[in-house]
Structures are given as structure tokens and as C-alpha cells.
Amino acid sequence: MQRITILGATGSIGVSTLDVLARHPDRYSVFALTANSDVDTLAEQCERFRPQVAVVGSADAAQHLQGILRQKGIRTEVEHGKQALCDVAAAPECDAVMAAIVGSAGLMSSLAAARAGKKVMLANKEALVMSGQLFIDAVSASGASLLPIDSEHNAIFQCLPSGYRRSPQQHGVAKILLTASGGPFFNRPADTLDLVTPEEAISHPKWVMGRKISVDSATMMNKGLEVIEAHWLFGVPANQIEVVIHPQSVIHSMVSYVDGSVIAQLGNPDMRVPIAQALAYPERIDSGVEQLDLTKMGDLQFKQPDSIRFPCLQLAYDALNAGGTAPAILNAANEVAVQAFLERKIGFPIIATLIRQVLEQVPATHIIAGIEHLIEQDRIAREATIELISRL
């Protein structure tokens, strides 16, 4: 029986994880569930799964949640704050952690799980984008298991040989092919992108995701962050990571080998597939997802991304090639810019403009002195982005 902590239980990944866990009560139990402010949903989850601990973002939210749970006779311990997130991620009672808190807010708790030697199922790509080598070093030092949840990285993981350890040359890997749906604006005239509304940007044609990641998909920054994540997960340099637009979202990614072989992972677009794969690895369990019917797929299309339509993708490659703290600066600027777009303070194309300006204004350091250094760079980049927005 594996005891699971879910960081970000009320988000789309957290909800899908609980759906898979509920199908296998003989294999998994829930140790801890966390959410920032969605107390009502978290209370419902606690009533069903009876975790030992629940963590929320503030003291007020904790008081509210505790009142609901006590009224229902549920004895789940309620904690709040950033340290409590790290505590449930590293707790000895926990075997595996689903790291699904969106954005940089998930960095410290994901890192705590890695340092504690847990089985870390990483859905929070920003944690690895920001901390890079620090995260990989923590996994190596503690003996933690790092399993990717992003559908693309999970697909790559499945296409690589057993025992692969960030060594592409040793295993004959020529390149990684990251597939991208192209988002909702793949066929939209580029000269109309300044008219895009938040409602249009979060309407993804294939995947059900949160607001922030949906906007990232629309700008293709999400794919850029995945390029950086793939570099750290699999030890593949930027020039061996290629993004391919695949609107059908049936092939989730591929690995090309030096002998000319290309191995792909296919499946219906449902995050329960990679979640189930990571939960049970190296075994397989039912995810609740319908089997892919190859006879109904129709044509599969593949195209190169348009750098004019999707400038954020190139910005991510530039940050990866610059190294050091540049990816953390990129991520911070993007998070602030996306939030400003969702609040209708800026237009859709301005997201990329702001990120480019921040990368030019905030000097990246090649050496990362530690996690505090990254957090400081994150703060500086956010303040720079906010200042630029105020001038618009």
C-alpha cells in the first residue's frame, strides 16, 4: 500500500490523480491533500479520501476548512502555509508525492520531496525549469525517483530504454521530438492575435487544463518550458530537442535514435494515462481512460511551429542556451505577464514582448549559488515585469 501526498489536489491534475487512486483502493491510500484557497472542494476530497493531513494557503482558509471537517466528524489534521506544504511532501508517512502546484509556488515543496528521497511524480514543470541542476542533484543525492507527469515527458520516458540515466549518447538517442497541439490559435490569422480574449485563450481544443497553463499553451510558452524540462529530465542538449506541431494530440512525443528508428507513445488525450503510468511504474494499472481505436484516428498531421506566431517558444530556447538563472527569469516574467493578460491589463501578444524585455533587463548569473539565489532572481524578474506593465 503506497501512501500518496497530492500537492495541488483541487487542480486538474490533482482531481485526475484522485480519480485513478479511487480505482485502486487496494494499492493506494491518501496521506495528505493540499490546496491554496479552494476550501470547499478540498473539504469534499477529505470527506471521500480521509487523508491524515490537509494543507491550505492561509490561516483563514485553515479555520474555514477545519470548521467544515469537524462538522462532518472528519479528523483530518489541518495545516497552512509554505512550510506545511514542504512538511507533508517530506513526511516519513508518505511514500510518493504528486507535485501538481502550478508555477513557481510549487518549487519548494517539490524540492522537499526530492530531498526526502520520495517517489516524485512531477507535474509542476516550473520547479524543474527554475532550479534545473539543483533539483537533479537533490534527486541524485537522496535516491529519490523522478517520474514525469506532463504527457509529453511521460511519453518520452516510456520511449526511452529501461535504465536510461540522462545519457543520450550511451543509449543511441539522436533527438527528442516534443509534440504540441498548437493550441487554440494555430490556424488563426497572426494579425488578429492582438484581439484574443482570455476566454478564447483558455479554451484548449484537446486538453482540459487550468487557466495559466491553458494560456501558456496558446502562446506555446508551455512547450518552451517543456523543452527546458526535457533537457534536465533526460540530459539532452537544446539542439537535440525538436518541437513538432501535432494537432490531433494522439502521439504525445517521440524519441529518434541514431539507427533511424523513431519510437512514439500514443493514447487518447487524458492526463489519467501518464498519472497511472507513474503511480504504478514499472507495472501498469487501469487509468479509466478509453482504449485508443487506431481505425478511428484519421490523418495524423505534423508541422513545424511558426516562430512569428509563437515567439515565446524561441525565448525559452534562448533562456535554456543562456543557462544559469535565465530560465528562472523567463518563468517569473511569464507568470506575471500571463496573470496580467487574464486580468485584461495587457493584450495577448504583449506577453512575449514583456518576457523578452525582462530577459534583456535582468542580468542572469551563470552560477546558481543556491535556492535562495533563485528565489531572489525570481523576485527581481517579477518586479521588473510589474514595472514594465505599469508603463503600458
* Measured distance CA(326)–CA(266) in Å, rounded: 33
For 323-392, give the CATH class.
mainly alpha
Asked: is 2-148 a CATH 3.90.550.10 domain? The reply is no
Work out the burial of residue 243: count CB atoms within 10 Å of its CB; fewer than 13 is exposed, 13-18 middle, 19 or more buried. Answer: buried
Q: Is the pLDDT of residue 315 over 90?
A: yes
pLDDT tens digit sequence for 260-304: 999 999 999 999 999 999 999 999 999 999 999 998 888 899 999
What's the pLDDT band for 206 if we cut at 50, 70, 90? low
What's the pLDDT band for 205 if we cut at 50, 70, 90? low
Whose cell is 480574449? That residue is 197
What is the pLDDT averaged over residues 95-103? 94
Residue pair 303/244 in contact by the 8 Å Cβ criterion:
yes
- Phi and psi angles of residue 183, each rounded to the nearest 5 degrees, phi first: 70, -170
Q: Is the pLDDT of residue 41 over 90?
A: yes
Cis check: omega of the bond before 282, within 30 degrees of 0: yes
What is the pLDDT averaged over residues 74-89? 97
Dihedral angle over CA of 130, 136, 142, 143, nearest 10? 140
Higher model confidence: residue 8 or residue 366? 8
pLDDT tens digit sequence for 153-168: 999 999 999 889 899 9
Residue pair 374/367 in contact by the 8 Å Cβ criterion:
no
Cell of 101: 502546484
Task: Tell me the residue ranges of DSSP E strands in 35-172.
Answer: 53-56, 77-80, 96-99, 119-122, 145-148
What is the pLDDT averaged over residues 318-338? 96
Q: Is the pLDDT of residue 346 over 70?
A: yes
Q: Write down the domain spans for the chain.
A: 2-148, 150-307, 323-392
Which of 336, 169, 327 shows the shortest CA–CA distance to 240? 169
* Measured distance CA(41)–CA(21) in Å, rounded: 17
Task: Tell me the β-bridge partners of 180.
Answer: 245
Q: Is the pLDDT of residue 96 over 90?
A: yes
Cα dist. 32→56, 98, 165, 291, 377 in Å? 11, 10, 30, 31, 31
pLDDT tens digit sequence for 259-270: 999 999 999 999
Q: pLDDT at position 208, please?
A: 65
* Measured distance CA(174)–CA(259) in Å, rounded: 9
Q: pLDDT at position 184, please?
A: 85
Which of 213, 168, 189, 201 shows the shortest CA–CA distance to 308? 189
* Measured distance CA(151)–CA(155) in Å, rounded: 6
Cell of 229: 524540462
